[in-house]
């Protein structure tokens, strides 16, 4: 006798199909294998998924992250005391330093194996501002002409943390007090290459894998040539039609796919507290 099980996971996609809300699950408990499979499928399909109304404890956030995969490496930021895999993104009301993540990027793309997923839990949300914007880098790839695809497909992009965490980077020059402990390092001045166009290991879709924060050039190109082509691609990626804007509600847990998206943390909440907790899931070498 076969026993049929009704699916519990409910997925409400954004109109564009990029981004979705997932309900019907309680992430404070381990998901059963079918629910986990449905969550993974929705995440692969929509790239940025929000689980509203999940005020997870930090233990539960860690446990859910581990259901998705092993923790990723999080360099250059001091983690929470006693929680080496959790970052607290905290900005005090009187803080004048720029907010963390205020530039388009895909998390830690300068690593050999950048994280597949980032999970961000909203603890305290300001009454104004503080949205997070996402770019659908697969759709941006799809929208290029065949002629431009042929130019960029074979290229290797140079990624580095130097513009942010390097010895001459933004944080080294920071003069304003900041709650988050940023680690400026010579190691951040190094660079490596990844394919400029990567293929998603689950969906097989191609995506532009570059960002203004961490992509510093194109292998074999002069700086001027790199700037011209990357400048065009960054402007293309950030066209309105590829963007999903997440307006946070306390208790939201967001999970995004760094392999086919870029994101940007918008400010606009000076005078208000914002507290988020973040984990990452280890990815693979981009191909
Ligand atoms: C980030 O992970 O880049 C920050 C996102 C945010 O704080 O909204």
Measured in angstroms, how far is the CA atom of residue 280 from the centroid of ligand 1? Answer: 12
Is residue 2 scored above 80 in pLDDT? no
Measured in angstroms, how far is the CA atom of residue 9 from the centroid of ligand 1? Answer: 26
Q: What are the pLDDT digits (tens) for 232-261?
A: 999 999 999 999 999 999 999 999 999 999
Q: Give residue 7's pLDDT.
A: 83
Residue 102 covered by a domain: yes
Residue 146 covered by a domain: yes
CA distance to 42, 112, 273, per residue, from 280 (Å): 18, 15, 23
Average pLDDT over residues 197-225: 98
| Neighbour order of strands in the sheet with 156-160 | 191-195, 156-160, 215-218
Measured in angstroms, how far is the CA atom of residue 266 from the centroid of ligand 1? Answer: 8
Measured in angstroms, how far is the CA atom of residue 276 from the centroid of ligand 1? Answer: 8
Measured in angstroms, how far is the CA atom of residue 98 from the centroid of ligand 1? Answer: 12
Please work out whether the CB of residue 166 comes within 6 Å of at least one atom of ligand 1. no
Residue 286 covered by a domain: no
Of all residues in the chain, what percent carry a pLDDT higher than 90? 96
Residue 47 covered by a domain: yes
Q: Give residue 156's pLDDT.
A: 98
Is residue 1 scored above 50 in pLDDT? no
pLDDT-derived band at 200, boundaries 50, 70, 90: very high
Measured in angstroms, how far is the CA atom of residue 225 from the centroid of ligand 1? Answer: 30
pTM above 0.75, yes or no: yes
As for how many domains the chain has, the answer is 1
Is residue 163 scored above 90 in pLDDT? yes
Is residue 78 scored above 90 in pLDDT? yes
Please work out whether the CB of residue 65 comes within 6 Å of at least one atom of ligand 1. no
Residue 237 covered by a domain: yes
Is residue 13 scored above 50 in pLDDT? yes
Q: Give residue 252's pLDDT.
A: 98
Is residue 225 scored above 70 in pLDDT? yes
| Neighbour order of strands in the sheet with 132-136 | 243-246, 132-136, 261-265
Q: Give residue 209's pLDDT.
A: 98
Please work out whether the CB of residue 197 comes within 6 Å of at least one atom of ligand 1. no
Report how far residue 24's alpha carbon sits from residue 27's, in angstroms, rounded to the nearest whole number: 10
Q: What are the pLDDT digits (tens) for 91-127?
A: 999 999 999 999 999 999 999 999 999 999 999 999 9
Measured in angstroms, how far is the CA atom of residue 278 from the centroid of ligand 1? Answer: 8
Please work out whether the CB of residue 132 comes within 6 Å of at least one atom of ligand 1. yes
Full domain range(s) for residue 116: 4-281
Please work out whether the CB of residue 89 comes within 6 Å of at least one atom of ligand 1. yes
Please work out whether the CB of residue 125 comes within 6 Å of at least one atom of ligand 1. no
Q: Give residue 21's pLDDT.
A: 98
- Hey, which of 87, 118, 246, 278 would you mutate to test ligand 1's pocket, going by the most ligand atoms within 8 Å of its Cβ? 278
Q: Give residue 174's pLDDT.
A: 85
- For the CA of 263, the closest atom of ligand 1 is 3
Q: Residue whose CA is closest, atom 3 of ligand 1?
A: 101
Residue 287 covered by a domain: no
CATH number of the domain encompassing residue 243: 3.60.130.10
Residue 48 covered by a domain: yes
- What dihedral angle (degrees, nearest 10) is formed by the CA atoms of 95, 96, 100, 105? 170
Please work out whether the CB of residue 25 comes within 6 Å of at least one atom of ligand 1. no
Residue 92 covered by a domain: yes
DSSP letters of 242-277?
GEEEEPP-TT-EEEEETTSEEEEE----TTS-EEEE
pLDDT-derived band at 4, boundaries 50, 70, 90: low
Is residue 61 scored above 60 in pLDDT? yes
What proportions of the chain, in percent to the nearest 5, are helix, strand and coil? 20, 25, 50
Average pLDDT over residues 129-157: 98
């Amino acid at each position: 006798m076969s026993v049929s099980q009704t699916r519990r996971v409910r997925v409400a996609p954004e109109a564009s199909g990029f981004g979705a809300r997932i309900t019907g699950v309680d992430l404070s408990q381990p998901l059963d294998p079918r629910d986990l499979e449905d969550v993974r499928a929705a995440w692969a399909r929509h790239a940025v998924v929000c689980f509203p109304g999940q005020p997870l404890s930090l233990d539960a956030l860690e446990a859910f992250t581990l259901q998705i995969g092993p923790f990723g490496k999080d360099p250059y930021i001091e983690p929470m005391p006693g929680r080496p895999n959790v970052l607290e993104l905290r900005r005090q009301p009187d803080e004048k330093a720029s907010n963390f993540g205020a530039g388009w990027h895909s998390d830690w793309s300068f690593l050999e194996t950048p994280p597949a997923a980032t999970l961000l839990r909203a603890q305290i949300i300001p009454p104004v501002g503080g949205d997070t914007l996402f770019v659908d880098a697969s759709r941006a790839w799809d929208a290029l002409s065949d002629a431009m695809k042929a130019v960029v497909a074979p290229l290797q992009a140079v990624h580095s943390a130097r513009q942010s965490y390097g010895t001459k980077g933004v944080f080294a020059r920071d003069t304003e007090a900041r709650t988050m402990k940023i680690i400026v390092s010579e190691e951040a001045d190094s660079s490596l290459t990844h394919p400029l166009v990567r293929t998603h290991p689950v969906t097989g879709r191609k995506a532009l894998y570059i960002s203004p924060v961490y992509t510093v050039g194109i292998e074999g190109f002069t700086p001027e040539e790199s700037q011209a082509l990357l400048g065009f691609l960054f402007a293309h990626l950030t066209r309105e039609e590829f963007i999903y804007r997440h307006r946070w509600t306390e208790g939201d847990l967001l999970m995004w796919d760094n392999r086919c998206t870029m994101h940007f943390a918008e400010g606009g909440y000076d005078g208000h507290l914002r507290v988020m907790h973040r984990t990452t899931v280890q990815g693979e070498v981009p191909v």
